[in-house]
Amino acid sequence: MSEEVKHIVIVGGGTAGWLTAGVLAARHPDRSENGLQITVIESPDVPTVGVGEGTWPTIRKTLSRIGISETEFLKACQASFKQGSRFDGWVNGREDDKYYHPFELPVSQNATDLLRAWQEFAPDKSFAEAVCVQTAPELKGLAPRQRAMPDFVGAMNYAYHLDAVKMGALLREHITSKLGVTYLADHMTAVIGDPDGDISGVETRDNGVIEGDLFIDCTGHRALLIGDHFGVPFQDQSGILFNDRAVVTQVEVPPDSPIKSETISTAHEAGWIWDIGLFNRRGVGCVYASKYISDERAENILRDYVGRDTEIQTRQLSFRSGYRKQFWKNNCIAIGLSAGFLEPLEASAIVLIELSVEMLAENLPVTKTANRIEAKKFNQLFAYRWERIIDFLKLHYVLSERTEPYWVDNRKRETMSERLIDYLEIWKHRPPSQYDFEQSAEVFPASSYQFVYYGMGQKPATLPTLKPLVLNVLQKQFQTVWRKQKAFAAGLPTNRALLSGLKDS
């Protein structure tokens, strides 16, 4: 291997492989001899996981960086707008048991002021509806933007629901034709190491050895480079996050039916069901823990949810909750499922791909020496991120009052991290605040914890007292939010109208 990083080899062409190739290629566009060569090797024999329909608002910046227009993306991927998640039945399963985790931030980042003001000025509204524009009932089914707005700009924060297979095809087409990335449809058969422990090349069935300086493992759950070659241990988290399977389906929808603006996550006896509205269909999946219910029972839960009159084809998927002890080892970086997977709740996987490739693209090591230093920083930051995401996902389960064995077991202290146990104790007396989260760029900031914590009916026992001046300022901010909710309801098109308009363009 030369001292300089001149050739990056990405093994795997799923969402992880193509997003990685696209962001790296767009950020480092010089393909001359002095520039950076990027090759993606994708096996024609191994299909991609084919799910991953919910994204995070970061995806807008990622697509824009790669140079894909929003209209092109929406049309090609049958995509729709995602403005957050709705959780049905997570507290007690009763009819009125619903709460939202929207993408918009609350009017104030000061947790105590915000809590006090909510209780003072809008005790009858849910927290989400009181403190941010996005979840008002009058905005149901409305798009977060008007068609005339510039690409990726919205009146409210948003991400997308998308067809993962179509997105893979779009990314591949765009990245190979516009960004100069080399594509090899070939099966990697072996990894070749050099004497100092780095990877010098990968052997392929039809194209021989492909040499490189930096290798990205995007081989999915198989983790052929980071796991099989380097033997980096997988840290199992199934003792905390119990789900390990999903049975998934697609449901056709009438062409003029309303499209929901959020992922609907409905709790069931041993897991939950996602329901994602795309332009042409719904993607529905029953996530469950095989220790608590059988595959057959899960399939029945899914069929009952969809409605017994609806004909569906189902597909079973299994996964192991956990993540690698190191993501970057020598000259190999694991991105995507090879780095780990927790569960589909809150769509945290694609955002981790984006954050990983963003850090890599911005700090691309140019030499072997720099590689080692970057690896250390990367591993520290991402270990922190995975741990925090685990706590955040677990929060959805531990606050439930449901009485089925799965939910009761989820509340046992031995299934929680020390940190989460401590926070739950502290939050009995004060709200989750930005001081609880060390990073400036948390995947789930304090406000996400507030949406879930209050959404599940929890509140600190004592309310803070505030100066009248602070309360007056907040009152005005709340009123502005509620005014905006009415104005947006009057001015925004429905999801269906906006997306149908694009198809006709």
Ligand X SMILES: Cc1cc2nc3c(=O)[nH]c(=O)nc-3n(C[C@H](O)[C@H](O)[C@H](O)COP(=O)(O)OP(=O)(O)OC[C@H]3O[C@@H](n4cnc5c(N)ncnc54)[C@H](O)[C@@H]3O)c2cc1C
Residues that bind ligand X (CB under 6 A): 11-17, 41-43, 46, 48-49, 51-54, 164, 187-188, 218-220, 222, 224, 246, 285, 317, 319, 336-338, 341, 344, 347, 349-350
| Shortest CB 104 distance to ligand X, Å | 20
Please give the C-alpha separations between residue 440 and each of 243, 443, 471, 494, in angstroms, as whole numbers.
30, 10, 27, 35
Q: Which is nearer to ligand X, 347 or 416 (CB)?
A: 347
Q: What would the two tokens of residue 157 be? A: 């924060």
**Cα(454)–Cα(427) distance, rounded to whole angstroms?**
11
Crossing angle of helices 111-121/468-491, nearest 10°? 70
Q: What would the two tokens of residue 133 be? A: 């524009």
| Shortest CB 248 distance to ligand X, Å | 6
Structural contact between residues 266 and 287, judged by C-beta atoms closer than 8 angstroms = no
| DSSP 8-state class, residue 401 | -
**Cα(432)–Cα(114) distance, rounded to whole angstroms?**
11
| DSSP 8-state class, residue 142 | B
Question: Considering only CA atoms, which of 16, 12, 15 is closest in space to residue 360?
Answer: 16
| Shortest CB 186 distance to ligand X, Å | 7
Q: Which residue has the tokens 């299934």?
A: 415
Q: What share of the chain is helix, strand, coil (3-state, %, to 5)?
A: 40, 20, 40
| Shortest CB 82 distance to ligand X, Å | 10
Q: Which is nearer to ligand X, 52 or 154 (CB)?
A: 52
Q: Which is nearer to ligand X, 46 or 383 (CB)?
A: 46
Residue 432 C-alpha from the chain's centroid: 22
Q: Which is nearer to ligand X, 338 or 400 (CB)?
A: 338
| Shortest CB 413 distance to ligand X, Å | 28
**Cα(393)–Cα(366) distance, rounded to whole angstroms?**
36
| Shortest CB 454 distance to ligand X, Å | 24
Phi, psi at 375, each rounded to 5°: -60, -40
Q: Which is nearer to ligand X, 115 or 218 (CB)?
A: 218
Q: Which is nearer to ligand X, 219 or 433 (CB)?
A: 219
| Shortest CB 153 distance to ligand X, Å | 23
How many residues are recorded in the chain? 505
Please give the C-alpha separations between residue 389 and each of 212, 215, 394, 449, in angstroms, as whole numbers.
33, 26, 8, 11
Q: What would the two tokens of residue 481 be? A: 């939010």
Q: Which is nearer to ligand X, 176 or 500 (CB)?
A: 176
| Shortest CB 16 distance to ligand X, Å | 3
Q: Strand ranges (DSSP E) for 340-470?
A: 340-341
| CB contact set of 262 (below 8 Å; sequence gap of 6+) | 82, 83, 84, 85, 86, 100, 102
| Shortest CB 343 distance to ligand X, Å | 8
Q: Where are the alpha helices (DSSP H) in 32-163?
A: 58-66, 70-76, 111-121, 127-131
Q: Which is nearer to ligand X, 42 or 442 (CB)?
A: 42
Where residue 467 falls (left for φ over 0; alpha for ψ -120 to 50; beta otherwise) is beta
Q: Which is nearer to ligand X, 219 or 237 (CB)?
A: 219
Question: Of all helices (H) and strands (E), which one includes residue 462?
Answer: none
Q: What would the two tokens of residue 443 be? A: 């995947």
Q: Which is nearer to ligand X, 41 or 474 (CB)?
A: 41
| Shortest CB 43 distance to ligand X, Å | 3
Number of CB atoms found within 10 A of residue 29's CB: 12
Q: Which is nearer to ligand X, 5 or 276 (CB)?
A: 276
| Shortest CB 115 distance to ligand X, Å | 30
